[in-house]
Chains A and B, each alone.
Chain A
């Protein structure tokens, strides 16, 4: 082997090693963060943590029941609004989206996907909170729904496009009208993928804090009224982490662990759903 070739192979090996090191550094960060979550948060989690609401500042005990329930309500409502519109827009893009309107909608969706969530929050404040004169869980849900819609539109479109054209043709040749082909044949075949996309969107939105700061606001008491302020796990973490009490900091870690667990469960469910049906399309 000549000197030049040796050097080239050495460079290749060095660069490969460098790439591997960089990749594992990135993964290391994740491991550290998750590890800290578990280490610092797990010890604070007990039954009371899940069932009680916060106690007055400085006292010990209490839990985040209000935040857990609040998260489910706010995110659930957001899904109720966001899923039909987002999936509907996605179906439009897949079925009729090859023209100019389709191009515009697609472009807008991509742009909206990159909009800072705090901006969405203050916009939602303007037409949901300011006219009503009060903060509400509903306002928070609307803000989260605005985040979800462009996300779901793009993933739905992608999933529906995966359905082979031959299936569509077979249905049309049987005398299925276009709407029925789209809904019952194409939509049903892509359903697993669409559901996965929705779950991923929901998981992402469940962790959001910024758009809720001025809409749902937060609530230290247990409440399920959607037209009043409501607490979520993300808001709770923010208040506790930036507060002055050690007790609060401890609770912040525990809440973060619970939130992360929730996000993980939803994400893993999404993956599991896809795995189940993986062999069936195509």
Chain B
């Protein structure tokens, strides 16, 4: 065994050994498997890529189908579809204004109620809850998210609406009856019922995402504030909330996105009337509810096309809202699959 060592840091260029001719079969049979291994890697990558491509493919299909099927209505009504209030299948005149109004109004009302509740839950779970209470409460809130929409609707019809009629509407009328929002007769199915049920449905969603956003805030922020003598609440308000503000707004907008698309619970309690009314006691309509209600009754091509156009508007609206929400959340949580558990 030789003990010679090359001098450290040789700077002389050394001729590389000539590589073996590629066609010559190696003596060691193991080397011959090298090509098949690389092929397996390539196949694996191609298969996985194929599965992944299903996603952009799906979204293009959805967009395509919606657009192609709405073309007749788009051509017939143009932009006036959005602000016309008449929805008359007999005369074949379609205007989606009441649905669009109802979608936005019910979602806005839902956010008004849900945001304080959801933020309360999220802040409670991350900042104030004793350790032993966190898992059970979090689990309960997750369970709220697991309740199917149609079950919410069922509860809405037989429990919520009678409750509203007996215990909520009279006081509301007494105190706020002079405003245009609380006027008229309350028959049950109404914008109010729709908004409240939506609120309960989106609370767990906003809460879960907010909680993940708040958990992403580094503890050093809280500790720095507390070390400077802030009270518990002050630490939250001045150190944690501003840091996670973009993410929290994102969580709220995600909740909005969810509320916009909710179908079953809404169609069961909102009244399904093509009307724009300012009072929350009046029945209303949303885009999703309209499609659910009328799709099977659409006997003519134009009727169907109008409903597809409603679907297209709803789809584009939710895509935009969700994209905005994701961008805001991504800024805080950096690409993690936030909210995937609550979904």
Contact = CB atoms under 8 A, between A and B. Distances in A.
Contact of A12 (B37, B207, B234, B325): B234
B141 A30 contact: yes
Given A29-B200, A111-B319, A119-B315, A22 B124 contact: yes
B261 to A, nearest CB: 3
A263 B145 CA distance: 11
A276 interface: no
Interface stretch (B19-27, B80-88, B152-160, B174-182): B152-160
A237 B147 CA distance: 13
Given A26-B120, A203-B146, A241-B154, A105 B56 contact: yes
B192 interface: no
B252 interface: no
A109 B55 contact: yes
A26 B261 contact: no
A226 to B, nearest CB: 21
A74 interface: no
A15 interface: yes
A177 B37 contact: yes
A21 B120 contact: yes
A115 B315 contact: yes
Contact of B65 (A127, A155, A206): A127
A110 to B, nearest CB: 5
B343 A122 contact: no
Contact of B151 (A9, A20, A207): A207
B263 A108 contact: no
B149 A210 contact: yes
Contact of B117 (A8, A26, A126, A146): A26
B120 A18 contact: yes
Contacts of B154: 237, 241, 252-253, 256
A264 B315 contact: no
Contact of B207 (A26, A36, A102): A26
A202 B116 CA distance: 30
Interface string A233-275: 0100110011000000100110010011001100100000000
A77 B323 CA distance: 30
A116 B315 CA distance: 7
B47 interface: yes
Nearest to B329: A110
27 contacts: A8-B234, A9-B231, A22-B117, A23-B125, A26-B118, A26-B203, A30-B143, A89-B54, A95-B48, A101-B52, A104-B56, A106-B335, A108-B58, A111-B326, A120-B62, A126-B65, A149-B54, A153-B55, A155-B341, A177-B41, A200-B341, A210-B263, A210-B288, A234-B150, A237-B150, A252-B154, A263-B146
Contacts of A203: 146
Interface residues of B, number: 96
Contacts of B204: 26
Contacts of A241: 150, 153-154, 157-158, 268
Contact of A146 (B58, B146, B315, B337): B58
A143 B144 CA distance: 24
Given A15-B233, A114-B254, A158 B337 contact: yes
Interface in B89-128: 116-121, 123-125, 127-128
B243 interface: no
Interface of B: 37-38, 40-41, 43-45, 47-56, 58-59, 61-62, 65-66, 69, 116-121, 123-125, 127-129, 137, 140-144, 146-155, 157-159, 200, 203-204, 207, 231-234, 237, 254, 257-258, 260-264, 268, 288, 291-292, 295-296, 307-308, 311, 314-315, 318-319, 321-323, 325-326, 335-337, 340-341, 343
Interface of A: 8-9, 11-13, 15-16, 18-23, 25-27, 29-34, 36-37, 40, 84-85, 88-89, 91-93, 95-97, 101-102, 104-120, 122-123, 125-127, 146, 149-151, 153-155, 157-158, 177-180, 182-183, 197, 200, 203-204, 206-210, 213-214, 234, 237-238, 241-242, 249, 252-253, 256, 259-260, 263-264, 267
A276 B61 CA distance: 40
B340 A154 contact: yes
A177 B40 contact: yes
A116 B263 contact: yes
B40 A16 contact: no
A7 to B, nearest CB: 10
A20 B128 CA distance: 8
Nearest to B151: A256
